[in-house]
Amino acid sequence: METVGVGIIGAGGIAAAHAKAYQMLGAKAHLIGVADIDEDRARAFARRYEIPIWSSEDDDLLKRDDIQIVSLCLPHHRHAPVAIAALQAGKHVLVEKPLAISLEEADAMIRAAQKAKRRLSVVFQLRFESDVQRARLILERGLIGAPFYAEASCLWWRRPMYYENTWRGKWATEGGGAVINQAIHHLDLLIYLLGMPLRVYAEIDTVAHQIEVEDWCLATLYWDGLKASFCASTCAELETDSSRLLILGAHGSLQMFPFRPHSRHEERHLQIGEACRAIPEQETPGHTAEIHDFVHSVLENREPRVSATEGRRALELITAIYQSAFTHEVV
């Protein structure tokens, strides 16, 4: 296979990043169709990105033989049913985060992909950033020593009108609030860099918005010999949204957003510099890089760099955070 046809289901805000990324691939990917429950929005999106087919029905794309890849840019509760339908129709599927809103749904999606022998991936675009790759290499080489403490925070603000979209702010359709929607990327980075935590204790609250789900969370994550503090918010009225990731090791530290590795040991500091130079600066944004990797995984018949299993792991940790918050127990 030298080229793929692509369909986008869901023409909301994030769909633009998908369309632009596919177009950057030139002859390797052709945008064939877009579907959205709002036909006018689908039509406008198709015109904007010169997509020949638009529809208000997902099946109008899924039944087409000239579409091999489907990007899902949908409300969270629609990820699982539409992904499963697409996989059963023989499509490779890239899903915006989260993979699903329950582990049961995620497992059903993974089984459908395995049965159909098709690729299934979730968008965790921060993994593709050069600085994240540098941090991973520094940790793999043990250049800051054994990590013993980490912090991850996603202190963002969302205006009340953000939650006027009917699927947001509800457990049944969004699957949660600040944790599953905004801070899922921070949790994924903790897993990607440090591995899956063994236990978690969490508290959640709804502070500033008239919604069912949380707009604030504070949690402690536990590994053997390592603890992390995690905070997620959509009610932080800062001058600008703040993201932070800090890892302290026995011989140095890593900070992200912006990236600042450090060691007071001169030799280690030089080795950290060498590791950073070993990772070239990324030429495309994370979203674009991940979409390009997914297309190449289909063309080259290999696994994508972010598997559905990775998406499930993040959802497993989120599920544990919510369970701990509801039961007031360590999970």
The alpha helices in 164-307, defined as continuous H runs, are 171-174, 178-181, 184-194, 266-278, 286-299
Determine the average pLDDT of the residues in 140-144.
96
In this structure, what are the phi and psi dihedrals at residue 237, rounded to the nearest 5 degrees? -85, 75
- Residue 142's CATH number: 3.30.360.10
DSSP 262-282: E-SSHHHHHHHHHHHHHSPPP
With residues binned 3-state (H G I as helix, E B as strand, rest as coil), the percentages for the chain, rounded to 5, are 40, 25, 35
Q: Same domain, yes or no, for 132 and 121?
A: no
Q: What is the mean pLDDT of residues 153-172?
A: 96
CATH of the domain at 119: 3.40.50.720
Checking if the pLDDT of 43 tops 90, the result is: yes
Q: What pLDDT sits at residue 288?
A: 96
Residue 22 confidence (pLDDT) above 90: yes
Range 157-162 average pLDDT: 95
- Report residue 285's pLDDT band, with 50, 70 and 90 as the boundaries: confident
The answer on 318 and 172 residing in a single domain is yes
On the question of pLDDT at 210 being above 80, the answer is yes
Whether residues 178 and 299 share a domain: the answer is: no
Residue for token pair 């052709």: 30
Lowest average pLDDT, out of 167-176, 259-268, 308-317, goes to 259-268
**Of 190, 197, 195, 193, nearest in space to 133 by CA:** 193
What Rg value do the Cα atoms of the chain yield, rounded? Answer: 20
Nearest Cα neighbor of 294 from 12, 9, 22 is: 22
Q: What is the average pLDDT score of the chain?
A: 97
Shared-domain flag, residues 141 and 216 = yes
Residues 152 and 263 in one domain: yes
- 178 vs 45: CA distance, rounded Å: 28
pLDDT at residue number 282: 83
Within this chain, do residues 219 and 229 fall inside the same structural domain, yes or no?
yes
- In this prediction, residues 166-191 reach a mean pLDDT of 98
169, 66: one domain: no
Q: Is the pLDDT of residue 1 over 90?
A: no
| pLDDT confidence band for 122 (50 / 70 / 90) | very high
Least confident of 31-35, 129-133, 261-265, 280-284: 280-284
pLDDT > 90 in the chain, percent? 96
Which tokens in the block code for residue 235?
């009610």
Domain extent for 30: 4-125+286-305
* Residues 162 and 41 reside in one and the same domain: no
Q: Are residues 73 and 114 in the same domain?
A: yes
* pLDDT-derived band at 283, boundaries 50, 70, 90: confident
* 192 and 133 within one domain: yes
Domain check: are 239 and 138 in the same one? yes
Confidence of residue 225 (pLDDT cuts 50, 70, 90): very high
Report the pLDDT averaged over residues 82-100.
99
pLDDT at 90: 98
Beta bridge partners of 196: none
On whether both 104 and 134 belong to a single domain, the answer is: no
Number of domains in the chain: 2
Q: Supply the pLDDT for residue 286.
A: 87
Q: State how far the alpha carbon of 57 is from the alpha carbons of 45, 53, 54, 166, in Å.
A: 15, 11, 9, 20
Percent of the residues in the chain that have a pLDDT greater than 70, as a whole number = 100
